[in-house]
Amino acid sequence: MTYISLEIKTSLSNAFFYYEEDTDRFDEWFKNKLSDAGLFNWVMYDNPQGIPEVSTLELFVNDFDYQHTLDVSIKVDDGTHDFDELYDNTALLDYIERDVAPRAIRELNEICNQVTIPMIGGTFNDLMFSENNEFYALIHSYGKDYFVSPDLKEEQFYAEDDYEVYV
């Protein structure tokens, strides 16, 4: 079965921890957080008009991947079309890029509106993610004083209006 892919950048697409192990632990924890929010149960249907031989699109989140993008799969007519039919259907791909993707992003952001993550200026710089699934801020010293970044705050997770459609 051939799917069309919609790869959507997120507010975390450029946010990684200093250590790969921290990022791996965070990714596993965060997928559970997204699952609890209902993201992996989300399904969106669309019935494109004026595109020959295509009647139904079914969108669902396939993964939150290692690049911190949302991988949305699009099943066309219950998977009855092969790769070449989808690849050559520029009207369908244009329709998905122009109309379907922006609607999907809005719906995904409605689901994620309660998902927040501690960050420092939109990054995980100066943060660690422990084996206990907790965030730790690195402590800096200045002279004899120690401090944590004053920019540490809970930031909203969201899907960005930056995406790619491909077969």
* Predicted pLDDT at 133: 94
Read off the pLDDT of residues 128-148 as tens digits, 9 standing for 90 and up.
999 999 999 988 888 888 888
* Predicted pLDDT at 151: 86
* Predicted pLDDT at 70: 98
Query: Three-state SS across 42-102?
Result: CEEEECCCCCCCCCCEEEEEEEECCCCEEEEEEEEHHHCCCHHHHHCCHHHHHHHHHHHHH
pLDDT in tens, the chain (167 residues): 899 999 999 999 999 999 999 999 999 999 999 999 999 999 999 999 999 889 999 999 999 999 999 999 999 999 999 999 999 999 999 999 999 999 999 999 999 999 999 999 899 989 999 999 999 998 888 888 888 888 899 999 999 999 999 99
Kindly report whether the global pTM for this prediction surpasses the value 0.85: yes
